Amino acid sequence: MRGLLLVLLLLLSEMLHATKIKELVNVRGVRDNQLIGYGLVVGLNGTGDGSSSKFTQRAIASMLSSVNVRIDARDIKSKNVAAVMVTATLPPFSRHGDRIDVEVSSMGDAKSIRGGTLLLTALRSIDGEIYALAQGAIDAGYSAGKKKLPPKTSVKLYGGALVEKELNYDLYHKNRIELSLKKADFDTAVKIQNRINSAFHIKAARALDPRTIEIRRPANMSMVEFLARVNELNVYSIKSDKIVIDRQSGTIVAGSDILIAPVVAAQEGITLRVGSGLANSSNPKEIQMRYGTATVASVARVMQKLGAKPTEIIALFRTLKRQGAIKADMEIL
């Protein structure tokens, strides 16, 4: 009887899947903020906007007037300048002087913005306030072997902007906050409530609906410490063949250990090859994994190391699903 009970317990442990609470929820009110700005890229070797881009001429004239140089916009013929939109994401708790990445995209008919320099560009949020300033040189477009790379009209500048204004969020002094489930589910909300209450031996959590759990900090710790401990708690559920991916970060929320069948798939210049008896490749953007060890999580990690965006990671997994290399269902949060 004891042997049978042991077998049942082992089978149950194999079926249960542990997920940290921080992978299932967001702290309500703590989120990224989108920034946008209009700027100019100068120093282009004839690949900038043509004379048909009237807004570029006006922008150049406006910029020159700010440094006391008066010129009629109609007299500007330079093809070495391109008008661009600059976008960025301001992470929560960013501090003054932090560097954030920016995306620089041409607005006119420029052939390429590679090799230019983005002039100082104010990045604003929806409230109209300036939260960051972007400026910097754009990759000239040459590989390590001095081979010229294709022209680009959209380029990412890593650390291309400095945070100038902080978003204040006083977490330390709060007695109560709300956790928001990334996916509404009655069962998960109740499990999180019960797990927190069990861990702290008080009624610190209360599920308000299938999406929201209210938590109150114990009297002997700050909200920061309380959240740190809550985030690391595990919630157990029955394993299912389902892949859940966070849209914002590309993180695998569930189904990380699901195996990928032998396949060759490509996404945005990155090639994934899963099989046996793989040959060495000189392509730094070719991912080679042996069948039986290639999992959803391992592929996602390598994609992130290669600089793939969350949208590109998700697109690759959708391709794998279409090609039959992944049999599990897939959900994007």
Tens of pLDDT, residue by residue over 266-309, are 777 777 878 776 666 667 677 778 777 788 888 888 888 777 78
Give pLDDT, residue 239: 58
Q: Does residue 3 form part of some domain? A: no
Residues 251, 287 share a domain? yes
Identify which has the larger pLDDT, 5 or 90. Answer: 90
The stretch 20-28 carries a mean pLDDT of 88
Does 22 reside within a domain?
no
By residue range, what is the domain housing residue 318? 242-332
> pLDDT tens, 231-267?
999 988 655 567 787 777 777 777 777 888 888 887 7
Write down the pLDDT at residue 68. Answer: 58
The string of pLDDT tens digits covering residues 202-239 is: 999 999 999 999 999 999 899 999 999 999 999 886 55
User: Is there a single domain that holds both residue 78 and residue 143?
Assistant: yes
The pLDDT value given to residue 35: 95
312 and 228 share one domain: no
Same domain assignment for residues 233 and 249: no
| Residue range 43-77, pLDDT digits in tens | 888 887 776 666 666 666 666 666 555 655 555 56
Residue 140 included in any domain: yes
Question: For residues 260 and 23, is the Cβ–Cβ distance under 8 A?
Answer: no
Domain shared by 228 and 246, yes or no: no
* pLDDT above 70: residue 160: yes
Residue 55: inside a domain, yes or no?
yes
Q: Are residues 276 and 209 in the same domain?
A: no
- Whether 147 has a pLDDT exceeding 80, the answer reads no
- Report the number of distinct structural domains present in the chain: 3
Which of 238, 262, 297 finishes a domain?
Answer: 238
Query: Does residue 325 sit within a domain?
Result: yes
Whole-angstrom distance, CA of residue 15 vs CA of residue 143: 49
Per-residue confidence band for 9, with pLDDT thresholds at 50, 70 and 90: very low
pTM: 0.61
Distance, in Å, from the CA atom of 177 to the CA atom of 29, rounded to the nearest integer, reads 9
Residue 2 maps to a domain:
no
Last residue of a domain, one of 163, 180, 199: 163
- pLDDT of the residue at 14: 47
Which residue in 172, 203, 314, 179 sits closest to 253, CA to CA? 314
The predicted pLDDT at position 7 comes to 47
**What pLDDT does residue 290 have?**
79
Residue closest to 155 by CA, chosen among 138, 136, 132: 138
Alpha helix ranges (H) inside the chain: 2-15, 54-65, 186-200, 223-231, 296-305, 310-322
pLDDT tens per residue across span 162-200: 999 988 888 888 899 999 998 888 988 999 999 999 999
pLDDT at site 207: 94
pLDDT at 73: 53
In a domain, 98, yes or no: yes
Residues 207, 121: one domain?
no
Residue 170, both tokens: 């006083």
Phi, psi of 142 (to 5 degrees): -120, 140
Residue type at 321 in one-letter notation: K
